[in-house]
Structure 1
């Protein structure tokens, strides 16, 4: 198999805020959606960094950005991204919810406690404790990629804490992990994934946006991810390869095995948004997911959009979220 083919197969699920805000205005940030016309700006990296806070937990110090007030909405990102993936959505939805975008254990700027695991099950337990420490009883969940698997596990473990669920392209019990992820996991086990993939992309942003890079495989528009997004996503992973590899290795099993029955009993409204240009996850998954939840609100397909499209089309995410939340 040629390296290009391995890259295309392999990124897989690799492919996507603080109350005391005092930095630049949220609409002053760099517009980086690269998609349809937007109704507001997008928070840039400097402002996001200024807004970042850390909450101590038994799992480590959890980095998160928060915006807004009222009922909480929790945004779960994918791999190898972090909460910065949701900057546009937070801009648009903070008038309606207390929007919280954490960095998962092993990714982004979260500081993982020594010896702490970073599997999806660990993420669920961490999120429950994080919400407790933030005095949040229940949330509207919004998730993408591996964050979607965590969202489903959270909903099974804590059904009374979920008011609604908005899933974008992500794992399903019938496609977890997707076959495309296997080369990533294999490289991670050999301690080579960061050095062979992420470090070259961080050093050469054009390569990162090429058909063989993060952008070409998982973003819809060729100018994405932006330079600042590449820095935000990849630098902390390159600087901490051990935890990056641990995250990938933690995806090497069907973590959703057996959840279908519990999801069928769920009573919270669930909506599926699916980019049809995604060749990582199975094209059968959106219909499967729409049929497995007890209160399914169906599927909306986003023509031609690739895995990390929620970053590029925040207006669409906001529109669907507000409808689901009945704002």
Structure 2
């Protein structure tokens, strides 16, 4: 599925965060209702991605589970205007509003990068509402921000040419342990940022990264079953953080070799196998 087809199947709702009414784009797929012990699976992306990150994973899970795949605020086809907070604290508030709008009182969360920070905050603050929590190369503790993202928050990001932005950001998406990045993946990840509004929003998202929002989490409060499903060769969010997170939450680590930060892209089949085994317990 290309990014245009993915976007065409998104729905939109409006949430209120910090007194701002903001549109949130999301995919809602799979059975409308399932067994009582199978809550919807919610997929959360990170920076600088959007929900298209889950293009090969969420549709497969939707064969037998309802899935919700939102674009975080400031990303993809959600709100990109200036004047609102894009931090993971605000993204957690967005998630709470979205769940209320969709009538969800129990969920399973599958997360990546800063989406992991959002998921961890939500699971710690609402332990009775999260049954399963999957964190993939997720920000946690003091593991972030990284220099690449911090540099995107500099004023020059809003002034750089589209070609330069494509080269800089696209180069990161092309990195991995697979031999050749799928051009459809790279093109899809870049698409939201290659407009003036998108380029500005990317800078705002980058500058909103705040380590305090993950260092202040009470990790002991998380009661969900936890899986740290990690790309073992990641230099942005190292495997050591997965091991620490699993130890603090009573979870487990599955490390996929020959996988970099974009683990679900580098090792799609291995990722899907491990995820299904965890969700089907």
- Global fold match (TM > 0.5): yes
Following superposition of structure 1 onto structure 2, how do residues 22-101 of structure 1 map, counting pairs within 5 Å?
Answer: 43-58=1-16, 59-69=21-31, 70=34, 71-101=39-69
Cα deviation for residue 200 of structure 1 reads 2.5
Once residues 326 and 187 of structure 1 are traced to their aligned partners in structure 2, the CA distance between those partners, rounded to angstroms, is 39
Once residues 169 and 288 of structure 1 are traced to their aligned partners in structure 2, the CA distance between those partners, rounded to angstroms, is 12
Match of residue 116, structure 2, among 132, 141, 148: 148
Tell me if the contact between 2:174 and 2:186 (Cα under 8 Å) persists in the aligned partners: no
Tell me if the contact between 2:152 and 2:206 (Cα under 8 Å) persists in the aligned partners: no
Q: What stretches of structure 1 of length at least 5 have no aligned partner?
A: 1-42
Once residues 103 and 83 of structure 1 are traced to their aligned partners in structure 2, the CA distance between those partners, rounded to angstroms, is 5
- The residue that corresponds to 2:173 in the other structure is 215
- The residue that corresponds to 1:28 in the other structure is none
Kindly report the root-mean-square deviation, in angstroms, between the aligned alpha carbons of the 2 structures.
2.3
- The residue that corresponds to 1:182 in the other structure is 147
TM-score by structure 1 length? Answer: 0.75
- Secondary structure of 1:88's counterpart equals coil
Cα deviation for residue 165 of structure 1 reads 0.4
- Secondary structure of 2:275's counterpart equals helix
Following superposition of structure 1 onto structure 2, how do residues 248-259 of structure 1 map, counting pairs within 5 Å?
Answer: 248-259=206-217
Tell me if the contact between 1:168 and 1:274 (Cα under 8 Å) persists in the aligned partners: yes
Once residues 141 and 133 of structure 2 are traced to their aligned partners in structure 1, the CA distance between those partners, rounded to angstroms, is 16
Q: Which has the higher contact order (CA 8 A, sep 6+)?
A: 1
Tell me if the contact between 2:141 and 2:211 (Cα under 8 Å) persists in the aligned partners: no
Q: Alpha carbons of 1:215 and 1:141: their partners in 2 closer, same or farther (altered >3 Å)?
A: same
Cα deviation for residue 224 of structure 1 reads 1.6
Q: Which deviates the most, 70-79 or 117-126?
A: 70-79
Query: Residue by residue, what CA displacement relative to the aligned partner does 1:146-167 show, whole Å, maximum 9, x if unpaired?
Result: 1111111111222222110011
Once residues 214 and 162 of structure 2 are traced to their aligned partners in structure 1, the CA distance between those partners, rounded to angstroms, is 27
Tell me if the contact between 1:208 and 1:215 (Cα under 8 Å) persists in the aligned partners: yes
Cα deviation for residue 186 of structure 1 reads 4.2
Once residues 84 and 183 of structure 1 are traced to their aligned partners in structure 2, the CA distance between those partners, rounded to angstroms, is 21
TM-score by structure 2 length? Answer: 0.86
Correspondence 1:325 to 2:264? no
Query: Residue by residue, what CA displacement relative to the aligned partner does 1:98-141 show, whole Å, maximum 9, x if unpaired?
Result: 11111111111112466321111000000111111112111110
Match of residue 202, structure 2, among 234, 238, 244: 244
Q: Alpha carbons of 1:258 and 1:46: their partners in 2 closer, same or farther (altered >3 Å)?
A: closer
- Secondary structure of 2:188's counterpart equals helix
Query: Residue by residue, what CA displacement relative to the aligned partner does 1:140-198 show, whole Å, maximum 9, x if unpaired?
Result: 10011111111111112222221100111121214233xxx235324523x22355597
- Secondary structure of 1:281's counterpart equals coil
Tell me if the contact between 1:278 and 1:305 (Cα under 8 Å) persists in the aligned partners: yes
Match of residue 192, structure 1, among 142, 150, 156: 156
Q: What stretches of structure 2 of length at least 5 have no aligned partner?
A: none
Correspondence 1:224 to 2:174? no
- The residue that corresponds to 1:173 in the other structure is 141
